[in-house]
């Protein structure tokens, strides 16, 4: 729920129209993030290529800043180029607003990155939030004030509006005879939104007067250092101290232990990490629910499960308490052990049919994985860290974390003291990740060292992977004979140890045969590989086999079979968001379409492929460029240069879901194809209300409180909206709602004091 801030919103919008960098500055809890997000929503239609939010609150390593921003802007990390260069190329000609949230702990790195973007991308603008300015020439700094509080004798102010609205969510109506006390409470809290929200949740059990009295007691017991702090810090500290004092012993214990989670987390993680001492497994769910009720922890539905998180200020407070009790090491070790077990469990599924679900699960816990790996180094346990990094070897590439994966493994391998099977495994994984960025020069020596060590130790599994990827090194270098020999050896070794990687190795052999001109052998190899994946095979391997089968079939002259194979391949790649696979399928379908004189479709597919390549960033592999050049020449000749370029540019601006839909001959899944009136007619009036509240970032619980309905009913409405609009996530609902014309921009909260 967003309350007030009309003047601040108007000023932020004015600044964004007059300068390219605006930084919202203010103390913790003052509402910088919400103001920035609301301003971004309001201005979304001004930016042709949208508003992109980058939450930096959970990132601790400044060397990963560019990669984090790139990923938030849809760019995969599959290139050895400097990340800033890739990012600049990706957005150089786009008109967009980048919202960098929580810059204060990465101030220097943010300043350098933003300066580079603004110099190189003339139509890109940045809206940042931070506790202090970035210090860049041309930066407009807007100091976010607290919410307005009533003057003495008055009850009218934004702070009171927020208190009343939050009290309503807690099921408590603030009657007219309580408004003066509410106004005094807001004055005591200096209008700081976070402090007001922490106080409002207490109105379920105590009156406003009791809240005011107890808060006064908390101010009285602040230490000298706290009383000497700036007023806003002092107020927030008092509010947090007071909230902490009103929790039970179990809730305090859980609050402290939850501070080990830098990202969102699920119930299984809480049970694994936080249970111990007087906090039993049987009690943890009830205690967690108590912290959610007290607004210490927020809960959001993600698919079939709930995920939880803490605001940075609340988490920092909990970590301070945890450290003061001397329990940080034990809890962070438990956190690391849980995610090490998760990685080990994932390792058994990254090459089977449940691959997509495991990649999603790891992605949802990426910040926790980072924290666990950091603790392995800090705690002097590189063996555990190396095993974790190796267990999720495919995840690093599949979700665009190649640079981070390589850096992690380089640090961990350097810290390993013994040359054992773990090191042999770590070396081939490091080589694989380097190969994922087409860095053959770095990959080859790592893979050779892995093969030598694995052979010495009798580790046939690591030897098989090292041999397989050495074969790819030879393939990348154009030595088809050596590539074929190594891949055949690897295939035999994979079969010997029962590895699920055998079909992919066979598929790579198909590539060498196809590039060597032996199309019948290539088709036979792809068919064998597909037969091996028929039951329980992973989508990544099947999509790669189908792409190769389609291309080889087209080169053989069977365009119909080729198109069927490519469509199935692009569907699988799209479900995984496997971008190289999507791009290769789009390219091949463009070539097939041109050969069938479907030139408009070919031009759009070429543009869609170009857009996906740019998001990696990569280009068509060198051995296949002859087909791409011929396709471009034929299509341009048939359509004329102007029409060809227009259709290519249209395809280039498709997002990946739209590109996959184009490839499959489906209607483009974009609101631009459906009029706003038709979309609105699809939803009921109540569903429209719910969609607008989702766009404001409200949880199902908050929506239920706002509309005075049950949480189950709110969840049902959200599910109906997803089904009716064909969406998969709340973020899609939010984007759709923001894009609608005529949306009520700033509804009045209920029971507002007059």
* Tens of pLDDT, residues 402-413: 999 999 999 999
Instruction: Specify the length of the chain in residues.
Output: 754
In a domain, 514, yes or no: no
Most distant CA pair in the chain: distance in Å? 89
Q: Do 48 and 128 sit in the same domain of this protein?
A: yes
Residue-number span of the structural domain to which 725 is assigned: 672-739
In a domain, 1, yes or no: no
Tally DSSP H helices, then E strands, for the chain: 39, 7
**pLDDT at residue 714 is higher than 80:** no
Average pLDDT of the segment spanning 655-667: 89
Question: What pLDDT was estimated at residue 679?
Answer: 36
Average pLDDT of the segment spanning 351-371: 94
| Stretch among 70-84, 460-474, 675-689 having the lowest mean pLDDT | 675-689
Query: Which are the contacts of 282, defined by CB distance < 8 A and separation ≥ 6?
Result: none
Q: Is 525 within 8 Å of 541 (Cβ atoms)? A: no
Query: Which are the contacts of 359, defined by CB distance < 8 A and separation ≥ 6?
Result: 350, 394, 395, 398, 399, 576
In a domain, 549, yes or no: no
Q: Do 54 and 178 sit in the same domain of this protein?
A: no
CATH number of the CATH domain containing 728 = 1.10.10.10
**φ and ψ at residue 223, rounded to 5 degrees:** -70, 170
Kind of pairing between the strands at 96-101 and 124-130 = parallel
Q: Is 324 within 8 Å of 283 (Cβ atoms)? A: no
User: pLDDT digits over 89-124, tens only?
Assistant: 888 888 999 999 999 999 999 999 999 999 999 999
In a domain, 78, yes or no: yes
Q: Residue 384 — pLDDT band, cuts 50, 70, 90?
A: very high
User: pLDDT digits over 513-549, tens only?
Assistant: 999 999 999 999 999 999 999 888 899 999 999 999 9
| Stretch among 215-224, 326-335, 508-517, 659-668 having the lowest mean pLDDT | 215-224
Domains held by the chain: number: 4
Tell me if the bond preceding 617 is cis, omega within 30° of 0: yes
Average pLDDT of the segment spanning 224-244: 67
**Three-state secondary-structure class, residue 131:** coil
**pLDDT at residue 673 is higher than 60:** no
Q: Of 503 and 172, which is predicted with more confidence? A: 503
| Stretch among 133-142, 176-185, 265-274 having the lowest mean pLDDT | 176-185
Q: Do 120 and 81 sit in the same domain of this protein?
A: yes
In a domain, 281, yes or no: yes
In a domain, 500, yes or no: no
Question: What pLDDT was estimated at residue 1?
Answer: 60
Q: Give the separation between CA 81 and CA 611, rounded to whole angstroms.
A: 18
Average pLDDT of the segment spanning 197-225: 70
**pLDDT at residue 232 is higher than 70:** no
Average pLDDT of the segment spanning 619-631: 94
**Three-state secondary-structure class, residue 99:** strand
Question: What pLDDT was estimated at residue 218?
Answer: 58
Cα-Cα end-to-end distance for the chain? 20
Question: Of the candidates 81, 110, 143, which is a domain's last residue?
Answer: 143
**Three-state secondary-structure class, residue 639:** helix
Neighbours of 230 (CB within 10 A): 9
Q: Do 19 and 118 sit in the same domain of this protein?
A: yes
What percentage of the chain reaches a pLDDT higher than 70? 90
Average pLDDT of the segment spanning 636-641: 96
Q: Residue 326 — pLDDT band, cuts 50, 70, 90?
A: very high
Question: Of the candidates 295, 326, 357, which is a domain's last residue?
Answer: 326
Question: What pLDDT was estimated at residue 561?
Answer: 96
Q: Do 37 and 126 sit in the same domain of this protein?
A: yes
Q: Give the separation between CA 33 and CA 690, rounded to whole angstroms.
A: 22
Q: Residue 625 — pLDDT band, cuts 50, 70, 90?
A: very high
| Residue among 476, 509, 478 nearest 495 (CA) | 509
Question: Of the candidates 183, 213, 245, which is a domain's last residue?
Answer: 245
Kind of pairing between the strands at 298-302 and 305-309 = antiparallel
DSSP per position, 146-211:
PPP-PPTT---SHHHHHHHHHHHHTT----GGGHHHHHHHHHHTTT-HHHHHHHHGGGGTS-HHHH
In a domain, 590, yes or no: no
User: pLDDT digits over 259-277, tens only?
Assistant: 999 989 999 999 999 999 8
Question: What pLDDT was estimated at residue 230?
Answer: 54
Query: Which are the contacts of 149, defined by CB distance < 8 A and separation ≥ 6?
Result: 157, 159, 160, 183, 186, 187, 190, 191
Q: Do 253 and 240 sit in the same domain of this protein?
A: no
Question: What pLDDT was estimated at residue 199?
Answer: 82
Q: Give the separation between CA 269 and CA 297, rounded to whole angstroms.
A: 14
Question: What pLDDT was estimated at residue 736?
Answer: 75
DSSP 8-class letter at 729: S
């Amino acid at each position: 729920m967003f309350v007030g801030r009309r003047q601040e919103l108007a000023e932020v919008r004015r600044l964004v129209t007059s300068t390219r960098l605006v930084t919202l500055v203010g103390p913790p809890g003052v509402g910088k993030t919400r103001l920035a997000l609301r301003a971004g929503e309001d201005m979304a239609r001004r930016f042709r290529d949208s508003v992109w939010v980058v939450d930096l609150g959970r990132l601790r390593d400044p060397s990963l800043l560019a990669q984090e921003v790139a990923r938030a802007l849809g760019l995969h990390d599959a290139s050895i180029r400097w990340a800033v260069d890739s990012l600049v190329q990706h957005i150089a000609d786009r008109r967009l607003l980048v919202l960098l949230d929580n810059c204060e702990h990465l101030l220097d790195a943010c300043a350098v990155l933003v300066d580079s973007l603004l110099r190189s991308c003339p139509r890109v603008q940045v809206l940042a939030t931070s506790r202090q300015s970035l210090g860049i020439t041309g930066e407009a700094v807007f100091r976010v004030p607290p919410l307005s509080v009533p003057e003495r004798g008055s009850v009218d102010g934004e702070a009171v509006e927020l208190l009343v609205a939050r009290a309503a969510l807690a099921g408590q109506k603030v009657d007219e005879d309580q408004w003066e006390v509410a106004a005094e409470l807001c004055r005591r809290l200096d209008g700081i939104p976070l402090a007001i929200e922490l106080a409002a949740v207490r109105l379920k059990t105590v009156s406003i007067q009791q809240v005011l009295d107890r808060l006064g007691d908390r101010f009285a017991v602040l230490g000298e250092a706290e009383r000497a702090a700036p007023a806003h810090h002092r107020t927030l500290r008092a509010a947090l101290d007071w909230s902490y004092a009103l929790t039970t012993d179990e809730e305090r214990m859980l609050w402290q232990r939850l501070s080990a989670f830098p990202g969102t987390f699920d119930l299984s993680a809480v049970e694994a990490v936080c249970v111990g001492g007087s906090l039993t497994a049987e009690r943890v769910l009830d205690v967690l629910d108590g912290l959610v009720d007290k607004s210490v922890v927020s809960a959001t539905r993600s698919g079939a499960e709930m995920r939880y998180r803490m605001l940075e200020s609340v988490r920092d407070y909990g970590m301070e308490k945890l450290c003061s009790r001397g329990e940080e090491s034990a809890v962070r070790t438990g956190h690391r052990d849980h995610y090490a077990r998760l990685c080990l469990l994932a390792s058994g599924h990254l090459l089977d049919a449940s691959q997509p679900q495991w990649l999603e699960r790891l992605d949802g816990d990426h910040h926790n994985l980072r924290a666990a790996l950091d603790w392995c180094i800090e705690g002097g346990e590189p063996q555990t860290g190396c095993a974790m990094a190796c267990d999720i070897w495919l995840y690093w590439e599949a979700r665009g974390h190649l640079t981070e994966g390589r850096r992690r493994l380089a640090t961990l391998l350097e810290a390993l003291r013994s040359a054992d099977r773990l090191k042999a495994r770590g070396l081939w994984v490091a080589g694989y990740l380097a190969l994922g960025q087409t860095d053959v020069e770095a990959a080859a020596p790592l893979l050779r060292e892995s093969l030598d060590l694995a052979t010495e130790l009798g580790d046939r599994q690591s030897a098989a992977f090292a041999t397989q990827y050495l074969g790819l090194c030879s393939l990348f270098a154009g030595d088809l004979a050596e590539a074929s020999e190594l891949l055949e050896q690897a295939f035999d070794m994979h079969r010997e140890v029962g590895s699920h990687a055998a079909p992919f190795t066979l598929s790579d052999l198909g590539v060498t045969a196809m590039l060597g001109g032996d199309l019948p052998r290539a088709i036979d190899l792809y068919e064998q590989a597909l037969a091996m994946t028929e039951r329980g095979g992973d989508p990544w391997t099947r999509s790669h086999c189908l792409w190769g089968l389609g291309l080889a079939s087209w080169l053989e002259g069977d365009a119909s079979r080729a198109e069927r194979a490519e469509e199935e391949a692009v569907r699988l790649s799209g479900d995984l968001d496997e971008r190289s696979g999507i791009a290769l399928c789009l390219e091949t379908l463009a070539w097939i379409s041109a050969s069938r004189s479907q030139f408009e479709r070919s031009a759009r597919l070429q543009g869609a492929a170009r857009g996906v390549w740019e998001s990696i960033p990569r280009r068509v592999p060198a051995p296949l460029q002859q087909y791409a050049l011929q396709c471009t020449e034929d299509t341009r000749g048939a359509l004329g240069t102007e029409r060809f370029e227009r259709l290519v540019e249209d395809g280039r601006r498709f997002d990946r879901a739209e590109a996959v839909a184009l490839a499959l001959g489906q209607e483009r899944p974009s609101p631009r194809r459906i009029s706003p009136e038709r979309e609105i007619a699809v939803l009921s009036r109540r569903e429209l209300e719910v969609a607008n509240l989702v766009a404001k970032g409200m949880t199902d619980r908050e929506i239920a409180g706002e509309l005075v309905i049950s949480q189950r009913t709110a969840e049902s409405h959200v599910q109906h909206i997803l089904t009716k609009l064909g969406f998969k996530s709340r973020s899609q609902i939010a984007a759709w709602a923001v894009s609608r014309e005529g949306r009520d921009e700033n509804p009045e909260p209920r029971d507002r004091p007059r």
